[in-house]
Amino acid sequence: MTAPNPDPQGDKITGLEPGGGVPPGETPPGESSTVGPQGHDEGTSKGNNPLPWLVGIGVVFVACIVLFVVGRLVDVF
């Protein structure tokens, strides 16, 4: 059972096909996009810079090698 259309001028609405569908070309254009940054950048974080960690690990690694070499030289003499 179908209810009658509550809109008194429902038959005069342009762009509708029988059954309520909308034909191609009758839909409004999509919304425009925004261009450029909008206040902050989601992809970067100032706290996640790996360079200080890599430098620190490198310094500890070189220090261990130097201590090992100096220890071997002292033990040899």
| DSSP code at position 30 | P
Domain range for 62: 52-77
User: Is 28 a member of any domain?
Assistant: no
User: What CA–CA distance (Å, rounded) separates 5 from 18?
Assistant: 13
Question: Is 70 among the domain residues?
Answer: yes
Q: What percent of the chain has pLDDT over 90?
A: 23
Query: What are the pLDDT digits (tens) for 2-28?
Result: 776 666 665 565 666 677 677 776 666
How high does pLDDT run on average in the chain? 74
For residue 50, the model assigns a pLDDT of 85
Look up the pTM and report it.
0.39
Residue 65 is predicted with a pLDDT of 95
Question: Which residue stretches of the chain are H helix?
Answer: 51-76
Per the structure, the count of domains in the chain is 1
Q: From CA 69, how far away is CA 75, in angstroms rounded?
A: 10
Tokens of 72: 């071997």
pLDDT at 53 over 80: yes
